[in-house]
Structure 1
Amino acid sequence: MILKYKSLKQLGFYAFIFLTFFACTKQDTIRPSIEKSLLATDSLTLTQPEQSILKLDSLLQNSKHLTTLETAILLFNKGEALYLNDKYQEAFNTHLKCNELFAELNDTYNESRSLISLSGAALHMGDIETAQKYALKALSLAQLIGDNRIEGKAYNQLFKLHFTLKDYDNALEYISATDSLFSKGVDTTSIIAIKGNKASVYLKLKEYNKALSSYSEAMALSQSQRDPRTLVSILNNIGYTYIEAGDYESAEKFLRGSATLNKNIKAINAAPYKGLGNLFLLKAENDSAEINYKKALEIYIANSNFKEEIEVRDKLVALAIMSGDYTTALDNQIVRDSLQLYVSSLEKDRLLNFANVNYEVKQKETEINHQKEINNRNQLLLISTIMVFVFLFIATAFYIYNTKLKAVNKASKLEQSLLRVQMNPHFIFNTLAAIQNITLEGNPIKSSNYIAKFSKLIRQNFDYVRKEAITLSKEVSMISNYIETQQLRFNNIFSYKIEIEDSLDVHAINVPPMLLQPFVENAIEYGLKEKKVGGELLVKIEGNTDGLSFVILDNGLGRSAKAKKEKLTEELHATTIFLERLKMRKKGEEKSFVIEDLFDDNNTPIGTKVFFKLKL
């Protein structure tokens, strides 16, 4: 009887182990039905990414009892489809979710793949630091599992990052590492692309022979693959390289070869004609240049490639002016200007959409937190109701006290959030207007730099607005970025300096966020922007016996009686908000706050000084 009992006990134990193993395995497998659906969406992703996204959303929402791995793979494919559809913010958020799931499953291979996609999306959004972080993490995981292909992709992502930063020496190191890893494989298409990227770096470094050598390797591989479309692109790149090197005869040979091959395969590609136009313009053969530019223009118009069309029309305007055909020049200039306005409008909409997506994400987080607060409060109410029959007086008193305390805390947090937000709209809308103006002036480098800095400011605001405190280093970084954005906006009519006492550990000291920005903004808006030359802004941070001392000093035009009258309400509002925030800390710091008008010996205004202290 005892023996029988032991046998039953052992059988039950083994059954438990089997069921546990089966349950765990189920979480890490993909069912055939899901695999079939994934194959169907894969074929759509390359041709119809939007349809692919809809099908993947349907699978994620309607499929019951998805395993963790199935959910992660579906999210990964959705992120890739969003990426191909140029929806980089949504792709980033989707890959972030699947990356967390892959990490939970210890699926290092797929985790590293999602990290590379995260890096690519971040790079497209201009977030260089985040792109580098994810690329390096992907590289580390790929080396850990010994996957050369993923390692090569991580190196290639780092190449793109450094190429974007115009750090061509490091870009060359990374693309060379990618080349050495992929050259061992059989993916000829990827190897051709890598050779082309390597050549593009050599071209930037003006090492033309090495660039031509890499293009030659790519051309040989393309010929062996019998891939005429890729061969057209390589021939075209070789032609452009010879133009850079000053060998116009060879450049014409390869560009004409590219154009001829295009005709043979009935492909529509404007690049060879544009290259020939550039070549003949350099050779002062204006008639031939005009003919080829017009051929390129027809293709760009047919493909709605507005940026290239603008560039070609600029060349045609110049040619028309040189030939004295001012009517044609004017016609092209009118079309070119209308296209520039349209492209600028699209860029503005893209920037606004990026800001809106970030805002919606934060809004959803707020709604979730609010719902959690409601759920917690309801649970507390239920417990209080049950306990009221036993401890009526104590429970009631506790409930009233707890409700009041939560109401006060919530009101304080809401007030602080509102106060911080009130400081931002004026600057944001002015900055967007400035971006539009710079874009219309036709300065893409300055516009791109401005957009990158403004995007970083938006991201910092969203990151810090809900925090009670941040490190001093983050506060300094944010205010530096804000001032530099203003410098771009006002064409560097003023300089600035931030002096921090050497003994301060800026990474260990915590301060309330966005304390300095209102006074820096006032110094720029009401003092320095009116001073056309010699404007200086100084921010000093020093330690004292029990905390920090802050000084914001400018040598602007000062605050005249008329200026005081005009901005009295605005400055009073900003100062009241600032003092209210200090009062909430309950350390008496508001008593140290001083705004002082500065005058020279002749009683002429020479600037403004703001001083306050924080206790740590």
Structure 2
Amino acid sequence: MNSIYKYILFLCITLFVWVIGFSQNSVIDSLTNELSIHQQKDTGRVKLLNTVAFKNYGLDQAKLRKYAEEAVTLAQEIDYPKGEARSWYLLSIFHLSKGGLDSAMTTINKSLNLYTKIDNLIGVSSCYDLIGTISRFQEDFEKSVSYYNKALKIVKDKGDHMKAAGFIGNIGAVYSTMGEYDKAVTSYMEAIVIFDSLKAKKKSLNPLNNIALTYARQGRNTEALAYFQKCLSGYRENGNKIFGASILLNIGLVYSNINEYDKALLHIKEALEISKELGNELEVAKCFTSIGSAFFSKNEYDTALSYFNKSLEISDRLGSKEGRYNSYTNIGNLHLERAELNLALQNFKKSVEVSTSSGSKRLIGNSHIALGATYYELENYNKAFDNVSKGIKIAEELSLVNSQKKANLVLSKIYEKQGNYIKALEKYKLHKSQSDSLLNRESIETITQLEFEYKYQQERDSAKMRELMLINTVKSTSQNLEQSQRNSFIAIIVFLLITMLLGGIIFFLKLRNQKSKNQKIVIEQKLLRSQMTPHFIFNSLSVLQGMILNKEERSITYLSKFSKLLRATLENSRYKTVTLSKELSAIDSYMALQNLDVSTPYNYHLSLDSTINSDTLKIPPMLIQPFIENATEHAFVDKKENKEISVQITFEQEKLVVTIADNGIGINTDLQKSSNTKKSLATAITSERLEMISKDFKMKGSLSIQNRESFGEQGTLVTLVIPYKINLVQ
């Protein structure tokens, strides 16, 4: 039976891919046919040539160049500067895709001069944007940001929110390359919010990819893979090969980071074939580097070295500083592993030189750490300490956990050689804790679940596409029934075959869906503590969207606080326990965000027993916040002023007792006004969590909810007895 299902699935996927390719080619074929009919040398033919050239972008780069060059010649012949400017712009894109940065810059400047002469501001902004991108690849970051901001100013003045979002995302890409990761993610999120508000799903794929790439650089592999899988789904839908090659390569790099080398090679080699097909040498060099790294990790050193040298040859020819840095660093690591220390030292010195000239903090920090490790092996401990110290300072500034881990291990060894055993132990403990945080069992399980959900979603989307194809087939068959008896007979046979095929697919998907539900039940409890209320997230994004569209100055503050809260919640959810201080900090951020969105702020009070050290006391995350959120959503429905929420934390008979009190309508009134399904679910989930946590911690936990009317007061009182642990090591 399994073989039958696999065969059916293979037929459907093949059909799906063929339909996508056919639909794209049919558009291009239609335009090409129109072009063959329109032989008159006028502006209409120039526009057609440029349109056909643009449609071939990411599909057939040779045709892009062919039609754009023909458009340039014709536009010059008939004196059509706007059409000529567009053609030069398209040729610049072609050269950029091939890694020809100097040629790309020359052609885009020709386009910019023409657009400026005819005072076409939209064209000028597009040129500024592309100059910013080319400058970023040339590692001229100051120039890149400057041109992106010029482009952004023009489109903002024009009220073009779609293009503004694209330019904001490009600015984020520069910050990411420079190692300014917080600024980068903020820019990407701002772009995504705008795209989502405009219902431009495809446009949001680029900032989504860049967020994933930023997380990957920080060693946050679970989050990176989640974003990359979303982007891969988008690539499968729109078929842009340039974007697809980039996504596949990035997914391969994440798998390499978690030691899944076979999966890594599978994705990277697919990216390599697409890049070769497109003639994109920069991407080919990156693929060679990534394949070499995978073989290096598998201890196949000769194979790895051959790929590193291939990448270095291309990077030298194209003048790519980042490509040269990666090649020198990888070759140095290989020689270091083989104990060929002098060869390793030569390559790491070159990587320091290249990274310094590039100005990228991330590359500078990593190159100094690698050079320091080599000096340690050569027993030159002073130079080793100087270089590693420079590198770890940058790694800590940029939150590069993997780089900090490597640096702390080398520092531990240096201190040990110098006889400073206390410092050596301190650095080794840091190295060990950072190693554990980078790759733990929960991360692997989460990544596996993400893979499963992605594949399941992909199959379900394929089924929807096939269903749409079936409907279209039926319509087409109905229209052609009168043509001939033979056509009618064939149409009926095709209809029956597709119906049988669809029935098999639906049965297969139902079986997969049931398995998915069973697996999700096992994982659900782990996810519960890491999920924020979707209502709150969507509401916050809607509020932020409104602020941005109304150009309110407080939108920046709101976005900053929302990002901080979201990041704190995601960080806390990765751990079984967090310090009480971190949990309270997340609650403070939540209340600060809520008060930005209401006309009358909540009066929020926190009372912490003086005997409690919130930095050493550790509790399970996300136990207190749901009840505060319930209070803000339900307790003050009819109350607009004097909204009080107080949290009191005390020790009573060695029990950690948390009370959350509000002066709202009270729990009985609340239950009468609403079915309160969400509230009941939150209470049930918390009760179940406390029951499991009590068994795990071997400490009693409980939950009670009371109406304060019974005490002669107004509102609701929630009392939590939370199991805890005390961390004595600071």
Q: TM-score, normalized by length of structure 2?
A: 0.40
- Bigger Cα Rg: 1
Q: TM-score, normalized by length of structure 1?
A: 0.46
